[in-house]
Each structure stands twice: as structure tokens, then as C-alpha cells.
Structure 1
Amino acid sequence: MSVDAHKETLGFQTEVKQLLNLMIHSLYSNKEIFLRELVSNAADAADKLRFEALSDDALYEDDAELKIRVEFDKDKNTVTISDNGIGMTREEVIENIGTIARSGTRKFFEKLTGDQSKDSQLIGQFGVGFYSAFIVADKVTLRTRRAGLTAEHGVQWESAGEGEFTIETIEKPQRGTEIVLHLREGEEEFANGWRLRNIITKYSDHINLPIVMAKEPLPNEDGEIDEADKGDETINKATALWSLSKNDITDDQYKEFYKQIAHDYQDPMLWSHNKVEGNIEYTSLLYIPSKAPFDLWDRDRMHGIKLYVKRVFIMEDSEQLMPRYLRFIRGVVDTNDLPLNVSREILQSSKTIDTIRAASVKKVLSELSKLAKNEPEQYAEFWKEFGQVLKEGPGEDFANKETLAKLFRFATTESGSSDQTVSLEDYVSRMKDKQEKIYYITAESYAAAKNSPHLEVFRKKGIEVLLLTDRVDEWLVNSLTEFDDKHLQSVAKGDLDLGELEDEEEKKAHEETDKNFEDLVERVKKSLEDKVKDVRITHRLTDSPACLVADNYDMSMNLERMLKAAGQDVAGTKPIMELNPEHPMVVKLKDESDESRFTDWTSILFDQALLAEGGQLEDPATYVKRINEILLKIA
């Protein structure tokens, strides 16, 4: 089959077209970053080849000197970036460039408003990468061949970035990738050796392999150029930044290195550079981004920490070096205490990796603790971006549960807004005399939590309650069951016991009331036996006639709803119905002798309590009919 027969024209994924348009307009004021992004991709390709060649050195194809080349052509108005790294197959080109098949993409684009100034702030969350080429180019030609394949398996991809691209099979003798940018009119400044050198020095100086360009020697007095002055020169230092002393690295260099490895164009929030010596020797350079990446909630997308052994890239897989709840951390770890041919299987059982991971986690949590203490406003920004992910921590990192708990922030009945600003230490410091527990409620929204009938007695007594409305909170409270020797107690589970916050007189009055309403409780229980697990008189309500609670060891009603909404088959448990003996409706129900009206009233009370919980009625039509009948009688 001929080469031409393999040529086809394909359409960009809709999201790619949106991203290109957004990126070109958002980043135009900082358009020189296209070179940083393409050079960074080339360095990644070289790192991947190094790693794969550890088990198959034939991939080097008699060319083990890895490097990146940058060229320009003033006459053609082009800039070319090429590498002799791993390269790509035809399928990989389509997957990596034609589509954005990453979890969270749709959510990212749903955030877009159409307002260029607002949307431009979101582009850093997505990452820039290859598409930055279209900031300065009106056509991009990519030629590539994967290491290990023969020359006839080369691939050429070409696009003007306007909705479609062509892809065809070509002959490519050298492995690796070459990207030719056909510069837009007005972008001639980049077809200039001095300009390109300046950008490389500014953004990519510490890429740890050579970035070379052809020398541009000046002619002598006779207008001739000495042959000895021709050839290539290395533009960057080609020294791993993390291997240098902290005293020799400027803040700007730290920031640019972060942008290179994270493909982010915003500065990091903070970083920690450590060289550890002793039984295990390693260097770590860890960053906390200023903004959450768009795919933060994809727990299976583990990237961010690059592992090096003796300056040789091994893999990018933070699962071995950082727990999932810290998956937003970016950086590098370099050690001499692992073999170069280390595999994922070896990493999983490596004591060296376990030690590095434990120390790295403690370092990150220590930096966050310092930030929370010394820069509360900046920590509040961090919490808005990453708080929900951090809450996954107690469930998977028992050793650091106490440290994590101090980092958590919540909205409460006393904080006055949905902003999560109250720490557990703040809460404990404000606890009432004789208060033994930390009280909380989980709900699907701040309004639902704040207005829940379960809070009525707590509001009356001035007891602060945590309002937990993040989806992850249901899992958090299953793992974080106490803080500072205080048990965390749901106000919507179990029988209410305020302990010594109730005096003996109140308890005596409650016991007497319970006796007076025993007959009503039995009648309601019989009437609703298919819907409730139990019925009892409550003293947690002051305004509402009834509420529903879960038994102590049952799943909360909020969690049950969440799981069902996610399509999971949940064996739901019946709730316990509690009646307020002081409410006029309950008092009237106590004296109701007509069984039909009694059944209607109990059903209405149950349905109203269910709605107040955020639940859905099984039979809304019957509920409406009963309400209408009552309204007509009143009218």
C-alpha cells in the first residue's frame, strides 16, 4: 500500500477547538511561553526514552546522545523544535493531539463564561502544552516516529488550528519528534536567533539535557566566516535545578522550573526544596500550585511527582511518592539509593520509597501547617482550591490524621456564611462548659444544612454545629471520629443526648412528656410501619413538628441519597421519626380520634420531614392531594 493511501483528514474534538480559541486569546500577551511548552514536551519525550531504554537499549538506535534542537528560518518564517526522544505512533498522535480524553474536561468547559478576561484565568488550570504553538503559528507541522519502529512508520500531522487536521504516514529516518511552526504574520520576531536564545535561557535553562542551536558567528573583516566557528552550541545550563544549592537558585528560577514541569503558566503558591542525607539520600523539590488543575477530582490520574534515580528520569507517578489526597502536588524526587532499572513492582515494595514518601508527606503537611499559622489569608485561598481533596486524607493516611485534622476548615452555625473558615481548634476553644462532643450535620447544600430542623435545640442553647456540605464530608466523618479527645457526633443520627448540657430538671420534664405521649407514639408507629424503623418523642425540635433521623450505626440519609444519585444499588434503611410534643400539630394529632384523618396527618408529617431532609417523596401526587384537602377545610 502506498504512503498516500494512509493520509486522512480528521476533525478536532469540540473541546480542542474551544481550548485553542481560548488559549490564543488568553495567552497572547505572554506568547513566548510556546517555546517553553514545546521544549518541555521534548524533554519529557527524552525522559520517557531513557526509562524505556533501561529494559531495551536497542531503542537508542545507535544514537544515545539525547538532546533538543531549536532552529529558525527567516526566509520561510518558521521555527522548528526537534528531539530524539521516544516519538509517537500514528495512534498516539491522534490520541495526544486530536482529542482531550481526560476526566474533568467537560466540567472545565462548563466553567467557561464567554468573557475572555474571566476565562483566561481558567486556562492555567487546564495546562497549556502543545496547543500553545498556535499562539504564534497559523499552521503547525509535526513529524514523528516512535523509537523501535522502522523509518517507514513515520507520521506527519498538520493543522491550521481551525477545526481539523491531516495525518499521514511518511518516511522518517530519525526517531523522535519535529515540530515546525509556520509563524503568523507579525510574529517574525521569533524567527530570530537572539530572541530564541533569550527565551530558552529565561524559561528552560535548567532542562537537564542540552538544548542546542546552530552558532551564528560574526564574519571577519573580509566578510568571511571561519569554519571553526560554525557548528552547534548548547544554550542552556543543562543542569538539574534540584541538584543545585538553594542559595544558588533565585525565586524566579524556582517559579520557571515549576511552570516547566507542571505546564502551568501561573506561579506556584509555595515550594519546598530539601536535600536529605543519612541512611537514605535523596533530594526533593515539591510545589503546591496556586490553582487546582481541571482534573483534580480524577483520583485515577496520578501525575505530578517525577522520580529520578541518579539524575535519570524513571517515571512520573505520584501514587508511589505521594498519597492520592495530595495528588495536586507537583515536583521531583531524585535518589541514588534505587537501581536504574527499577520497576513499578519494585517501587511498591521498596522501603526506600516508603521512607521518601513518608518524609515527603510530612514535609508537605508541615509547610501547609506553617502557611495556615503564618499566612491565614493565603491558606484560605489554598483551602478553596484543594480543601475537598485534603479531606480524603484521614481515610487513607492514619499516621497523619491528627495533623490533617488541624488543617481542615468548615462552615458552622456561628461563622455566618458558607465560607469554610473555622478550624476544629477554633471550634473546641468555643465549646460550651460541660460540652463533651463536637456536633456536625451533613447536607447537600449550605442552605439545607443551615436550615435543618435538627439544629433547632442547638440554636436555642447556643451550641455551635459544623455544617458539612462537601460530598467528601460523608467519608470524612467515617474516618475522623474524634479530635482533641472529643467525639464527633452527627445531630441527625441516634437519640439526642446533650449530656451535662441538660440539667436534671429538663431531663425529668422530658421523661414525663415521653410518658404522656406513649399512646400517640404507638399509633404513629402503626400508621407508618412500612416507612419508619421507629417513632419517638424528641426534644431536639423547637419549631418543627417532626424530623427524621438515622439510627446510630445506619448510613446517613444524605449519604444514601448521594450513592443512589451516583447509580449505586443501595439497600436503604428506614429512618426513625421523631415528634415534637410541644408543636400544635402534634398536640392536635394526639387527640385525633378519626383514623382516616389521623393517617393523613401522620403521612403529611412524615413527608414534610422527608422534604426537610432533602429527600424525595415516593408519591408526590398523594401528598399534594392531602395538603389541598386540608387547605380547603381551613378555607
Structure 2
Amino acid sequence: MQTGSISIDAQNIMPVIKRWLYSDKDIFLREIVSNAVDAITKLKMVGGAPDDEELRVVVTLDKKNKEIRVWDNGIGMTSEEVDQYINQVAFSSAEEFLKNYTGEDPAGIIGHFGLGFYSAFMASDRVSIDSLSYQEGAVPVRWTSEDGITFEMGEGTRFERGTTITMCLNDEEKEFLEGHVVESVLNKYCGYMSVPIYFEDIEGIKEQIKAEKKRKKEAEKEAKKEKAEGAEQTEAVDLQDDEEPAFVPGPVLINEVNPLWLKAPRDCTDEEYKETYRKLFNTWEDPLFWIHLNVDYPFVLKGILYFPRIKRDFSGQDGQVKLFNRQVFVADNIKEVIPEFLLVLKGVLDCPDLPLNVSRSFLQNDGYVRRLSQHIVKKVADKLNSLFTTERETYQKYWDDIHPFIKYGGISDRKFYDAVKDSLLLKTTKNEYYTLDEYKSRNAGKTEKKVYYTTDTARQAASVAPFEEKGIDVAVMDTLIDVNFMSFLEYAGGADVQFMRVDADVKGLQDDSEEGKDLDLETVQNRVREVLDMPDLTVLLEALSDKDTPAMLTEDEQLRRYKDMSRIYGEAAGAFPERYTLVLNRANKSIQSIAAMEAGEKQQLLIKQVFDLARLSSRPLEGDELKAFMKRSNQLIDLLAQ
């Protein structure tokens, strides 16, 4: 029996690693299982296994003995290799791991890879290795350590090729003695590793056996009852407490060794893509569509990006892009690899050449990562353009669900915008879809390079109607991102248009009518300001094409957008002045009559009513405004009824 100390520094390193990785202590299972998978991969490379043997990893939870065992039938180790790889190389890796990251924020390290075998001591009081090398005549070896500092090593008893790592869990990590916890960790990190991985919960199996026995006894009892009642005899099984049931549960396969994203797109069906999506993200919903990434040059990248239905408000969007390295899960939503605007999507990316033992700050400046990120953006743009060009109707059906993402991407990444700008659509109030160029062409001569839009088709219906009657298309811009996106198109996107809400401008609704042209603007203006007690209100007399509309209330487009953006970002919209323009329709008979009336109560009621009706066309009245409007409406009804 050989005894010894791994290194004079070990007693300082292990406690620090435990503290440093406290929030990610579950990685010890990933590291140990990954080592087992590597052992099987090495065996395949040397051709040391029979063709008919299933090479596999089995993770066993023994709650009674507080143990987790990771068993493999891989290449195994001799005592010399244990001394080299465990006492020297593995410890050196742990030492290097700590040296590299001391001073870094633990959350800033990608995946916490590289700790390897010594991660077992994060959760264990004692760790043992039982191994038998594939080499002919090899002698089994057993290695044991209770602290990761001192060890004992001697001849073991394992009789089959491979290695078993046994971890006796400490009292602080009792959660890992629960079957559902261990299974969840294995699914998280090992669900797509390249070698079959099985999970065996000894206590869980016993519980299943008990449940099966109980079911059998209940069936027997029911059968006897039916027989006693003269019913047709039902076959029953007389199962004793010490008998095993016909069904004995065993280890459960955890992973899928050949995930869909590693296959060629031509070999995948739509149903397989959907099933993979549902499994990856534990959902019953189907994605809208997807992009299968299968790149071998200038870098290796495999993956699938799914387009889910994007939330309209675009806040709190729970997208999730899982990053893998050679089928080993690394992390979710690494912004240094995947552009932030793509994180509203869902999917998986497997990047075997991605540097792992690095900080996030390193990734931000890494040329490989930058090219990888740009390539992903290009592939997303290519997919959108392809759908627009070859499946326009399908693309339009998707538009309501994906346009917030595309607009956000355009604002965030100029290259992405330049790539997809010709595939951007405007949805109109008539549920028609046009590109910006198509909109300008359809409305040429009517809008003077303006795009008229509504943010609420129901509340602004009265303001929309006159534009539709004149044959002007009104775009629907009703999501939070639209406020920023319109400004982006006007000032940075080179669109050569101005967006104007339907209640911000009446130029497109003016008429050449001479009616009411004799009304004196100054007299009307002064009287309206006096009645409304709004001395700074701008009042105009214009002939509108819709003679039935007495007035429209407009608000400066840019000022209103500033207020909208302030509300979006949680700032006080009240910091901006109220700056409205009341446009009285001189071609309307009611306005002509009100202007000709003598000053008095009736004229006051009508002026206030016209103003509130104009306000109602763009927003609801609330509180005291609504009370006053209702009271005034009743007064006017009384006047008309007299």
C-alpha cells in the first residue's frame, strides 16, 4: 500500500476552490462524468473494446451509504497512470485553474471548466478510484483520499476494464442524495454527451418495487372480491413480501448520444426539429421556424436556432440559447458568443473550438468568438431573407410574432439591419403587409414621404378613418420597440421617410373647400382659449376632407415620442410640456354654427364638448375629465330635448 501527499500546496488550494465555486458546486458531476466519457473515447481510439460491447457510463446514487458512483467501461488506468494523472496532472490542472482565475468574479468565468477530477472534493468527504486498465495483464488499482491532500493507493479488486469513482458526500451537500436533484444535474450537463449515460437511484428503485408489489396485491384483492361475488374469475398473482415483481426497474438512460443538431439538415424531418425543441425547452408549443447551422469552415459550428413567438412588449422575453462544447453543456445565453438581440430566440449551439478556460472579458476580445458571432448573425439574416423571397405568404403570417425581434436586432446591429432591411414589413390597419418601398409606391403623391401610423387601432379609429377614406395606408406600430425603431429608420436607417401618427398631422386630410373661409381665426381662437382656460393652446381653422368631423386634436410627433420613450424607460413623462393643436374643421356645419353664436352658456358647452370629442379620438378620458364630459353630455341632451 502506497501512501503520500499530493502536493504541499494542496491544503491551501482545495478550501479556496470550494468557497470560490460554491454557487456552481453541481459541476463536480459534469467533470467526473466527462472524464468517464473521455476514458471511453480513448478506448475507441485504441480499438480496445469488442464490437458487441456497449460502452457506457452509469451514475449510481446510493442514498443509504451517502454515495454517488460514476462507473465506466472505458480505457481504465494502471497504478502508474493513476499516480501520473491523479496525483500529478489532475492536481496540476486544479492548481492552474485556481491560479488563472484568482481575482476574477466567479460569475465571469465561462462554465468553470478545467477543474477535472478534483471537483469531486467540492462535495465529498472521501473519494476513491477503482480502475482496471485495458492493457493485457494489467493489475487493478485502488486510490483513496479523504481530503484531496493525502492519499492511499494499492492493489484493487475490480475485475472488469474501466474505472469507478466513488464519492462519499459530506453533510453540506445532502441535496445531492436526492434522486431528482442528481437526475436534473445530469440532464442539464450530460443530456447530449456522446456516450450513453445511465442513472440508477437505488432507493428510488426500491420505492418503485414496493409500489409494484402494492399494485399486485391490490389486483389480487380485487380478483378475490370479484370471485366471491360470482364474477368471472380474474387471474391474480400471489406475491410474497420477499418476492421480486415481474417488472424490475433499472438504470434510466439520461442522454441522447446523436442529437439532431449534429446531423445534416437533409437528414432531419420537421417533426424531429419540433420534438427536439419541445424536449430542450420543456414546452408543448411548437416553434415558428428554425435555422440549422452546420458549418465546418472556417470554424466548426453545429446548432439549431428556433424562432418562438416573441412577446409583444419584448420585455422579460425568456429566450434561451444553450451553448455546448463537444456535446457537453457549458452555459445559457453567453452574450460574448451570441449577440444579445439573438437571445430572445431559443436553441442550441455546439462550438468545439470555443475557448472555455477563459473569462468573459477574454471572449469579448477574442477574434474567433467575434467571427463566430458575426457568422451566426449572417445565418439568421439569410434565413429571414430566404423566407421573404421564396415564401412571402408564410413570412407575413410569422411577421406579427417575429417583428419585435427583427426591429430590435436592426437597432442593435447595423450589419444585421443592412442585411434584412429589404425584408422589413409594415402591417396596415387592413391586415396587409408591405415593405417600406412598397408603401411609398402605393401612397405616392398622397403622403409626401410620410408613413402614417397608429399605435392603437381601437382608440385611434376615429383618426384612422379619414386616412383610409382617402386611400392612404395606415401602418400599425403598437409595440414598445416601435418608438425606437421609427426614430432609427428616420435618422440612421437611411429610409428617407418621416413617421407620423394619425393624430399628429392633418396635412394629408386637408380639402380645398371654400366653406367657412369667412370665419375669423383670431376671434375663434381667443374664444376657444378663454372657454377652455388654455391660453397657450394652438387653434387652427382648416377645411378637412371629412366634413362630419368637427375637430381634431394633434400633438407634436417628436414631443409625443419623447414622452413615450420616457414612459418606457420609467422616467417622468410630466417633465415634457403639453403641446396640442386643436384643428377646427371650418367645413363642418357645427363649427360654423358655434363660431357664429353669441358668447354664452350654450356656446361654452359646445366648445368644451368639441374639444373632448377631439381628445377621445386619440385617448380615453379619465377621472374628473370623464365626469365633466358625462355631466356636459347630459346638459346638451336636455338642451336638445327642450
Q: Which TM-score band applies after superposition, normalised by the shorter structure? A: 0.5 to 0.7
> Relative to structure 1, is the Cα distance of residues 321 and 301 closer, same or farther in structure 2, using a 3 angstrom cutoff?
farther
Q: Tell me how far apart the structure 2 counterparts of residues 174 and 387 of structure 1 sit (CA, whole Å).
A: 47
Contact 2:320 2:345 in 1 (8 A): yes
- Aligned pairs for 1:79-478 (under 5 A) are 148-150=122-124, 176=176, 179=179, 207-212=193-198, 238=257, 241-246=260-265, 254-265=273-284, 267-276=286-295, 281-289=299-307, 291-292=308-309, 299-300=315-316, 303-309=319-325, 312-317=328-333, 319-335=335-351, 337-413=353-429, 415=430, 419=431, 421-433=433-445, 435-444=447-456, 446-449=457-460, 451-453=461-463, 455-456=465-466, 458-478=467-487
Matched residue, 1:585: 590
Task: Give the CA deviation at 1:515.
Answer: 7.4
1:479 aligns with 2:488: yes
Task: Give the CA deviation at 1:367.
Answer: 0.9
Q: Secondary structure at the match of 2:574?
A: coil
Contact 1:514 1:537 in 2 (8 A): no
Q: Tell me how far apart the structure 2 counterparts of residues 437 and 178 of structure 1 sit (CA, whole Å).
A: 66
Question: Deviations for 1:525-577, whole angstroms, at most 9, x for unmatched residues?
Answer: 3443538641112344622111111124211599489769x895533523221
Q: Secondary structure at the match of 2:558?
A: coil
Q: Tell me how far apart the structure 1 counterparts of residues 551 and 121 of structure 2 sit (CA, whole Å).
A: 70
Question: Deviations for 1:575-613, whole angstroms, at most 9, x for unmatched residues?
Answer: 221111111221122212215444333222211111221
Aligned residues: 448
Task: Give the CA deviation at 1:433.
Answer: 4.2
> Relative to structure 1, is the Cα distance of residues 540 and 561 closer, same or farther in structure 2, using a 3 angstrom cutoff?
farther
Q: Tell me how far apart the structure 1 counterparts of residues 635 and 420 of structure 2 sit (CA, whole Å).
A: 54
Select 2:498's aligned residue among 482, 488, 496: 488
Contact 2:553 2:581 in 1 (8 A): yes
Task: Give the CA deviation at 1:520.
Answer: 1.1
Task: Give the CA deviation at 1:340.
Answer: 1.8
Q: Structure 2 unaligned segments of length 5 or more: list them.
A: 1-17, 38-56, 62-67, 72-118, 127-168, 182-189, 201-249
Which amino acid in structure 2 is aligned with residue 469 of structure 1? D
> Relative to structure 1, is the Cα distance of residues 528 and 171 closer, same or farther in structure 2, using a 3 angstrom cutoff?
same
Select 1:549's aligned residue among 549, 554, 560: 554
Q: Structure 1 unaligned segments of length 5 or more: list them.
A: 1-48, 73-81, 86-144, 153-168, 182-203, 215-230
Question: Deviations for 1:491-535, whole angstroms, at most 9, x for unmatched residues?
Answer: 44655444xx98xxx66969x939743431233234435386411
Q: Tell me how far apart the structure 2 counterparts of residues 558 and 381 of structure 1 sit (CA, whole Å).
A: 32
Contact 1:536 1:578 in 2 (8 A): yes
Matched residue, 1:630: 636
> Relative to structure 1, is the Cα distance of residues 52 and 469 closer, same or farther in structure 2, using a 3 angstrom cutoff?
same
Matched residue, 1:159: none
Matched residue, 1:190: none
Q: Tell me how far apart the structure 1 counterparts of residues 432 and 193 of structure 2 sit (CA, whole Å).
A: 40
> Relative to structure 1, is the Cα distance of residues 232 and 464 closer, same or farther in structure 2, using a 3 angstrom cutoff?
closer
Q: Structure 1 stretch 548-557 or stretch 60-69: which is displaced more?
A: 60-69
Matched residue, 1:225: none
> Relative to structure 1, is the Cα distance of residues 570 and 322 closer, same or farther in structure 2, using a 3 angstrom cutoff?
farther
Q: Tell me how far apart the structure 1 counterparts of residues 621 and 566 of structure 2 sit (CA, whole Å).
A: 9
Q: Secondary structure at the match of 1:448?
A: coil
% of aligned pairs identical? Answer: 22
Q: Structure 1 stretch 172-181 or stretch 468-477: which is displaced more?
A: 172-181
TM-score under structure 2 normalisation?
0.57
Which amino acid in structure 1 is aligned with residue 320 of structure 2? G
Task: Give the CA deviation at 1:452.
Answer: 2.3
> Relative to structure 1, is the Cα distance of residues 526 and 321 closer, same or farther in structure 2, using a 3 angstrom cutoff?
farther
Task: Give the CA deviation at 1:285.
Answer: 1.7
Task: Give the CA deviation at 1:411.
Answer: 4.0
Q: Tell me how far apart the structure 1 counterparts of residues 397 and 503 of structure 2 sit (CA, whole Å).
A: 33
Contact 2:464 2:474 in 1 (8 A): no
Which amino acid in structure 1 is aligned with residue 632 of structure 2? R
Task: Give the CA deviation at 1:71.
Answer: 8.7
Task: Give the CA deviation at 1:252.
Answer: 5.7
Which amino acid in structure 2 is aligned with residue 431 of structure 1? N
Matched residue, 1:220: none
Q: Tell me how far apart the structure 2 counterparts of residues 62 and 305 of structure 1 sit (CA, whole Å).
A: 22
Matched residue, 1:30: none
Q: Which has the larger radius of gyration?
A: 2
Aligned-pair RMSD on alpha carbons? Answer: 4.9
Question: Deviations for 1:344-384, whole angstroms, at most 9, x for unmatched residues?
Answer: 33334444333322321221122122223323443344234
Q: Tell me how far apart the structure 1 counterparts of residues 373 and 482 of structure 2 sit (CA, whole Å).
A: 26
Contact 1:283 1:334 in 2 (8 A): yes
Contact 1:284 1:331 in 2 (8 A): no
- Aligned pairs for 1:55-70 (under 5 A) are 59=28, 63=32, 65=35, 69=58
Contact 1:69 1:212 in 2 (8 A): yes
Q: Tell me how far apart the structure 1 counterparts of residues 387 and 69 of structure 2 sit (CA, whole Å).
A: 40
Q: Structure 1 stretch 574-583 or stretch 435-444: which is displaced more?
A: 435-444
Which amino acid in structure 1 is aligned with residue 606 of structure 2? W
Q: Tell me how far apart the structure 1 counterparts of residues 631 and 193 of structure 2 sit (CA, whole Å).
A: 72
Matched residue, 2:607: 602
Q: Tell me how far apart the structure 2 counterparts of residues 495 and 173 of structure 1 sit (CA, whole Å).
A: 67
Which amino acid in structure 1 is aligned with residue 292 of structure 2? H
Contact 1:454 1:540 in 2 (8 A): no
Matched residue, 2:534: 530
Q: Secondary structure at the match of 1:360?
A: helix
Contact 1:306 1:313 in 2 (8 A): yes
Contact 1:292 1:328 in 2 (8 A): no
Contact 1:84 1:174 in 2 (8 A): no
Q: Secondary structure at the match of 2:395?
A: helix
Matched residue, 1:122: none
Matched residue, 2:152: none
Q: Secondary structure at the match of 1:619?
A: helix
Q: Structure 1 stretch 532-541 or stretch 566-575: which is displaced more?
A: 566-575
